[in-house]
Amino acid sequence: MGQSGRSRHQKRARAQAQLRNLEAYAAQPHSFVFARGRAGRGVRQLSLDLRRVMEPLTATRLQVRKKNSLKDCVAVAGPLGVTHFLILSKTETNIYFKLMRLPGGPTLTFRINKYTLVRDVVSSLRRHRMHEQQFTHAPLLVLNSFGPHGMHVKLMATMFQNLFPSINVHKVNLNTIKRCLLINYNPDSQELDFRHYSIKVVPVGASRGMKKLLQEKFPNMSRLQDISELLATGAGLSESEAEPDGEHNITELPQAVAGRGNMRAQQSAVRLTEIGPRMTLQLIKIQEGVGEGNVLFHSFVHKTEEELQAILAAKEEKLRLKAQRQDQQARNVQRKREQREAHRKKSLAGIKRARADGDSDAEDPGAPPEEEGAGQREEEEDEAEYFRQAVGEEPDEDMFPTAAKRRRPAGHPGKKQQGKQRRLDRGSDRRPLKAKGRAQVAQAKLGPGGATRTHGRGRARPPKRAA
Listing DSSP states for 232-293 in one string gives HH-TT--GGGS----TTTEEE-SS--SSTT--TTSEEEEEEEE-S-EEEEEEEEEESSSS-S
Q: How far apart are CA 436 and CA 445, in angstroms?
A: 14
Which residues of the chain carry a pLDDT beneath 50? 1, 234-242, 410, 433, 435-436, 438-439, 441-446, 448-458, 460, 467
Length of the chain, in residues: 467
Beta bridge partners of 446: 452
Beta bridge partners of 161: none
Give me the phi and psi of 137, to 5 degrees please: -130, 155
* Residues contacting 114, CB < 8 A, separation 6+: 278, 279, 280
Please check whether residue 40 is in contact with residue 61, taking contact to mean a CB–CB distance below 8 angstroms. no
Q: How far apart are CA 196 and CA 181, in angstroms?
A: 5
Q: How many other C-beta atoms can be found within 10 angstroms of the C-beta atom of residue 30? A: 19
Read off the pLDDT of residues 335-384 as tens digits, 9 standing for 90 and up: 999 999 999 999 999 898 888 887 555 555 555 555 556 667 777 788 88
Residue 467's pLDDT is 45
Residue 276's pLDDT is 87
Residue 423's pLDDT is 67
Q: How many other C-beta atoms can be found within 10 angstroms of the C-beta atom of residue 277? A: 23
Instruction: Report the predicted TM-score, pTM, of the whole model to 2 decimal places.
Output: 0.61
Amino acid letter for position 21: N
Residue 444's pLDDT is 45
Give the three-class secondary structure for 143.
Answer: strand
Residue 456's pLDDT is 47
Residue 455's pLDDT is 47
Please check whether residue 35 is in contact with residue 85, taking contact to mean a CB–CB distance below 8 angstroms. no
Q: How far apart are CA 146 and CA 185, in angstroms?
A: 6
Name the nearest CA neighbour of 54 among 180, 119, 138. Answer: 138
Please check whether residue 194 is in contact with residue 143, taking contact to mean a CB–CB distance below 8 angstroms. no
* Residues contacting 111, CB < 8 A, separation 6+: 94, 95, 96, 97, 281, 282, 284
Residue 147's pLDDT is 85
The alpha carbons of the chain give a radius of gyration, in whole angstroms, of 52
Conformation bin of residue 272: beta by default, left when phi > 0, alpha when psi is -120 to 50: beta
Give me the phi and psi of 271, to 5 degrees please: -115, 140
Q: How far apart are CA 16 and CA 9, in angstroms?
A: 11
Residue 241's pLDDT is 40
Residue 196's pLDDT is 95
Read off the pLDDT of residues 107-140 as tens digits, 9 standing for 90 and up: 999 999 999 999 999 998 887 788 888 899 999 9
Residue 137's pLDDT is 92
